[in-house]
Every structure is written in C-alpha cells, then in structure tokens.
C-alpha cells in the first residue's frame, strides 16, 4: 500500500468548484448569543439554497407487458375490354391472347404478432446539489456518481426540479417528486464492451434491407 500523503500535492489533483449562493454579511444582533448563519440549534437543516446538498432516492419498479396482433387481407379483380382501337388494337390483342379484354386478379394478406415484456428494478441513493433556485421557489437539483470496480465504471446521473415542501425532514427527496426528471444509469468497461455488438455488425445492421 502507498503511504499516507497530502492529496493536494498529487499531479492529478484539481480543486473543486461548486455552485454557491452570493455572500451576505450576517446582520449584527445586539445583546444576542446567537450568530446568524449558523447551521445548528433551531435552524432548518433541509436544503434551501444554491450549493446545499440533498439526498435523492431512486426506487423504480417497472413492469410492462404489451401484446399486439394485426391481420389484413385483400383481393382485387379488374377487367378491361378494348375491342377496337383504330382497327389495330383489337386485332393485336386477339392475336396475342385470343380475347379482346385484359383481366387481372390479385390477392394480398398480412399477419403480424408482437409482444413486449419489460421488467426494471433500480434502487439507489445519491446526494445531489441545488444548482438553481427558480423564481417560484422550486429547486433545480443535479446529482452525479461514478463507481469504479476493477475495470468496470458505473455512472449515475440525475437531474430535475423539486419543491421545497417535498424535501423531508431528513433532507431526502424521492424521484417521483421530481419534475422533468432525467435519470441515467449505465457504465463502461470490459463487461459493457462484450455486451455490445461490434461496430462492423452495427454498420451492417443499419444498412441491411432484410
């Protein structure tokens, strides 16, 4: 194992910049032991301004089944007679087919069956940051998380708009309370590469007519 050292002295270290509310000097209170801006005592500990953290709970259990059956049939009969056209057409037709008329018959049929079954379960908890306070008081929240195990990297991204009253006393909010929610859970690595088709196969699938 490596020795304990100062992480700020590493070559890959970069300082973090996060959204922050504008600085406001605390008002002076005469003959008061309470300091304005303190995060304890009777102050509400829930996220309330830009830069505050809020825990987002994602609990998705989605089951969907769709069955679609279609059937279509059709038939067509057409007859056209040209007995005489400048004393030429009729003779030509009679010479070729032995009759003075054209007759066509067509029949078509189509049957399709489709079934979609989807089962999804996603349960995660991730801390997000308030990036914006809208004029009506709602919060824009964004959260990102990366977990790397060996050569596999898992990425989780969440963004949406929440109401202050939907943030519970323990400073959490569920994903179903988020408007315009965008939840992305995926990753990349050796396992993801083997689960994806090769680029050559993808090109063939995109241009193959059948």
The radius of gyration computed from the CA coordinates of the chain, to the nearest angstrom, equals 35
Range name among 78-87, 106-115, 186-195 with the lowest pLDDT average:
78-87
pTM value surpassing 0.85: no
Measured distance CA(168)–CA(45) in Å, rounded: 10
**Share above pLDDT 90 across residues of the chain, in percent, rounded to a whole number:** 25
Alpha-carbon torsion (16, 20, 24, 28), positive or negative: negative
pLDDT at 178 over 90: yes
The average pLDDT across 83-92 equals 53
The answer to whether residues 167 and 138 touch, using CB atoms and an 8 Å cutoff, is no
pLDDT at 76 over 80: no
The average pLDDT across 104-130 equals 82
The average pLDDT across 122-145 equals 91
The average pLDDT across 166-174 equals 92
Q: Which residue has the higher pLDDT, 92 or 30?
A: 30
What is the spatial order of strands in the sheet that 152-162 belongs to? 172-174, 53-81, 101-133, 139-149, 152-162, 179-189
- 60-69, 107-116, 135-144: which is most confident: 135-144
Range name among 24-38, 69-83, 107-121 with the lowest pLDDT average:
24-38
Task: Retrieve residue 106's tokens.
Answer: 């067509």
pLDDT in the model for residue 102: 59
């Amino acid at each position: 194992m490596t020795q304990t050292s100062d992480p700020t002295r590493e070559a890959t270290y970069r300082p973090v910049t996060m959204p922050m509310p504008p600085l406001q000097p605390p008002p002076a209170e005469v003959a008061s032991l309470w300091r304005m801006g303190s995060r304890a005592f009777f102050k509400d500990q829930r996220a309330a301004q830009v830069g505050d953290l809020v825990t987002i709970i994602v609990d998705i259990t989605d089951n969907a089944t769709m069955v679609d059956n279609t059937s279509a049939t059709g038939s067509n009969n057409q007859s056209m007679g040209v007995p005489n056209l400048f004393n030429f057409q009729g003779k030509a037709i009679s010479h070729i087919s032995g009759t003075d008329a054209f007759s066509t018959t067509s029949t078509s049929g189509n049957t399709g069956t489709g079934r979609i079954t989807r089962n999804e379960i996603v349960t995660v908890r991730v801390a997000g940051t308030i990036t914006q306070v809208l004029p009506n008081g709602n919060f824009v929240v964004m959260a990102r998380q990366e977990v790397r195990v060996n050569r596999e990297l898992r990425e989780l991204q969440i963004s949406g708009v929440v109401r202050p009253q939907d943030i519970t006393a323990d400073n959490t909010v569920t994903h179903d309370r988020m408007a315009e929610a965008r939840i992305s859970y995926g990753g990349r690595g050796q396992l993801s590469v083997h689960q994806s088709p090769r680029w050559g196969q993808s090109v063939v699938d995109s241009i193959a007519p059948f």
